[in-house]
Amino acid sequence: MINFQLNNTSVQVDIDPDTPLLWVVRDHFKLKGSKFGCGMGLCGACTMHVNGEAVRTCTLPIAAVQGAAIISIEGLGTPDNLHPLQQAWVEHSVPQCGYCQSGQLMSASALLQKNPNPTDDDIDVAMNGNICRCGTYSKIKSAIKSGAEVMRTQESIVETFDPASGKSIVKEASS
């Protein structure tokens, strides 16, 4: 039995420990927002937060997340309460086909948790390996900057990882 937090809810699964986290989240928990792209951890479509870090989940065995705090794209915001990055994505018309966007958003939000005012170089490094077949990279960068500004100046939902409890904490915060 493998126990972990998924979007701030304690869960457990009895499954082959080598099953990738992506498939557990998609198939067992029916959260389909994170996508399968390459199966080798190279494209970023499967990115989720594991203990606050952006991690490629198509190659991460479920056994590796025992006791971890996982946030999928479904835990980032809701249709009625978008995360500032999700709102920026809409305002900047980032998605075309949309397939890579959950991974892009999860990588961007992990960056902004650590660095609320990233430079272009910081964004390039954090987003390296997130592939967008539609080529919306300049829109993605603009949306990250806009989302970061909103997060710095207004109340927003902030995800942090508490190593003492081993849980991801999502709360309202103001700058």
The dihedral over CA atoms of 150, 152, 153, 158, expressed in degrees to the nearest 10, equals: 80
Which residues make Cβ contacts (< 8 Å) with residue 61, sequence separation at least 6? 17, 18, 19, 20, 21
Domains in the chain and their CATH numbers? 2-75 (3.10.20.30), 84-155 (1.10.150.120)
Q: Which two tokens stand for residue 54?
A: 């952006």
Hey, CA dihedral for 47, 49, 55, 58, is it positive or negative? negative
User: Percent of the chain at pLDDT above 90?
Assistant: 82
Give yes or no for residue 174 having a pLDDT over 50. no
Instruction: Please report how the helices 101-114 and 120-127 are oriented relative to each other, as an axis angle in degrees rounded to 10.
Output: 130
Q: In what order do the strands lie in the sheet with 9-13?
A: 9-13, 2-6, 69-71, 47-50, 53-56
Q: Which two tokens stand for residue 136?
A: 């919306």
pLDDT tens across 85-110, in order? 999 999 999 988 989 999 999 999 99
pLDDT tens across 112-155, in order? 999 999 999 999 999 999 999 999 999 999 999 999 999 998 75
pTM: 0.85
